[in-house]
Chains A and B, each alone.
Chain A
Amino acid sequence: MNFASLILPLTVVFIVVFGFVKKIDVFDCFINGAKQGIETVVSLLPVLTGLVVAISMFTASGAVNLCTKLLSPLFSLVGIPEEVIPLCILSPVSGSGSLTVFESIINTFGPDSVEGRIASVIAGSTETTFYAVAVYLGSVGIKKSGAVIPCALIGDIVSFVSASLAVKYFFT
């Protein structure tokens, strides 16, 4: 049993007990809040269907391999090993896809190899950018996303580069 797996249950218990101590009808209060959640998710379904289908087509068509080929000279220029590049391409677009790639990297090279460690840091420090943008902007009906996606991608690229540099600095 490690500490990390205790955080979630602890948070839940803490919120409920704190509410009880402050003399709140915790269960009634919970039900009232939960009702509001349903509507949001229902309004998200069309947005997510559109995006998930497009991403699923994108990965199935082999476009990811093409991107990997096109971008690998750029990525190796900044010190990202070739084996990790598919993870970098997938992690902004597909959460489940990038987890699969991550697992295959740590199983092929070993979790304690340089590639495995870089992949771990990248998987630990990025979120599925397109999914997050679609969910957050979709839930309030924003049509013009402004500079959100370029900025988020800048953040992703910075995290890939700093992941490779940090692992190379601390573990070799």
Chain B
Amino acid sequence: MSIEKWKILIIVILFGSNWGNFVGYIFCFCSYIFNMLNYIWLFLISISFVCSVFNGTAAELSSSVFEGCADAVSLCLKLLGVMCFWSGLMNIAEKSGLCNVVAKILRPVLKRLFPGVCNDKEVMNAISMNVTANLFGLGNAATPLGIKAVKNIQRLNPDKTSVSPDMMTFVVINTAALKIIPSTVAALREAAGAQNPMDIIFCVWISSAFAVISAVVAVKIIGRFMKK
């Protein structure tokens, strides 16, 4: 065997044997950096400043600050309406027992995903309603219902300032957006003159299913790492 091959072999053994640890360290490092919302916020703002100095976009940057403030308020106003509306509807669904029916249907899946809270009926009802809204592509409804679910999960969380494993799973399922009907995208495609606006639906299912699965698996693995 030539010296080159030996070198490669040694490198492979060194990295191969440590590969698991290596990935673990990277995850731990990332989790540490991303753990505090403080750091993320600091990062976004300081990077923006540095970039604008280099790109000469200082004027855009300063106007973007005020635009951002106005956007936040209009976002909240929008949310205020849907939040009231869906909280109201949710109250009807809860009192009439509709939530229990939905929760019962989704229970076999959700029980596995949220082992820490699966015995609390109120939490499971709220999570089920959020998941249903997501599946139907009712983005406007999913957020208020999701906030309700998170509040319920927080009720059972022993440490009120840190995120609990079930909460992580819940947020990640929402960011990955598992849905059956991508209505917004279909509408935009129709407007742009697509032959069949819905023909991408199967690809959307595949892609969002993979996203949800990988994000949930990541949560479960990293959750185990962080416990140690």
Q: How many A-B residue pairs have CB under 8 A?
A: 364
Find out whether the CB atom of B51 lies under 8 angstroms from the CB atom of A66. yes
Q: Quick check: is A89 within 8 A (CB to CB) of the other chain?
A: no
Find out whether the CB atom of B98 lies under 8 angstroms from the CB atom of A18. yes
CA distance A60 to B71 in the complex (A): 14
CA distance A24 to B94 in the complex (A): 11
Find out whether the CB atom of B200 lies under 8 angstroms from the CB atom of A152. no
Q: Given A30-B88, A121-B204, A162-B207, is A132 in contact with B171 using a C-beta cutoff of 8 Å?
A: yes
Find out whether the CB atom of A150 lies under 8 angstroms from the CB atom of B171. no
Interface residues of A in 87-125 (CB under 8 A from B): 99, 102-103, 106-107, 110-112, 116-117, 120-125
Which among A44, A52, A155 is the interface contact of B172 at CB below 8 angstroms? A155
Find out whether the CB atom of B161 lies under 8 angstroms from the CB atom of A106. no
Q: Quick check: is A166 within 8 A (CB to CB) of the other chain?
A: yes
Find out whether the CB atom of B162 lies under 8 angstroms from the CB atom of A142. yes
Number of interface residues of A (CB under 8 A): 96
Find out whether the CB atom of B200 lies under 8 angstroms from the CB atom of A120. yes
Interface centre among A34, A54, A148 (most CB of B within 10 A): A148
Name B's interface SS. Answer: helix
Residue in B closest to A125 when the chains form the complex, CB atoms: B208
Q: Given A7-B137, A147-B31, A155-B176, is A24 in contact with B146 using a C-beta cutoff of 8 Å?
A: no
Interface centre among A129, A141, A142 (most CB of B within 10 A): A142
Find out whether the CB atom of B211 lies under 8 angstroms from the CB atom of A159. yes
Q: Given A37-B83, A38-B80, A53-B68, is A151 in contact with B41 using a C-beta cutoff of 8 Å?
A: no
Q: Given A62-B51, A137-B171, is A37 in contact with B214 using a C-beta cutoff of 8 Å?
A: no
Find out whether the CB atom of B174 lies under 8 angstroms from the CB atom of A151. no
Find out whether the CB atom of A38 lies under 8 angstroms from the CB atom of B84. yes
Q: Quick check: is B108 within 8 A (CB to CB) of the other chain?
A: no
CA distance A8 to B95 in the complex (A): 21
Residue in A closest to B27 when the chains form the complex, CB atoms: A150
Find out whether the CB atom of B65 lies under 8 angstroms from the CB atom of A111. no
A residues in contact (CB < 8 Å) with B:
2, 4-5, 7-8, 11-12, 15-16, 18-19, 21-22, 24, 26, 29-38, 40-41, 44-45, 48-63, 65-66, 99, 102-103, 106-107, 110-112, 116-117, 120-127, 129, 132-137, 139-152, 154-156, 158-159, 162-163, 166-167, 170
Closest 4 CB pairs of A and B: A33-B91, A155-B215, A124-B182, A56-B68
5 additional contacts (CB under 8 A) given A19-B95, A30-B92, A36-B91 = A62-B55, A124-B186, A125-B208, A146-B31, A155-B172
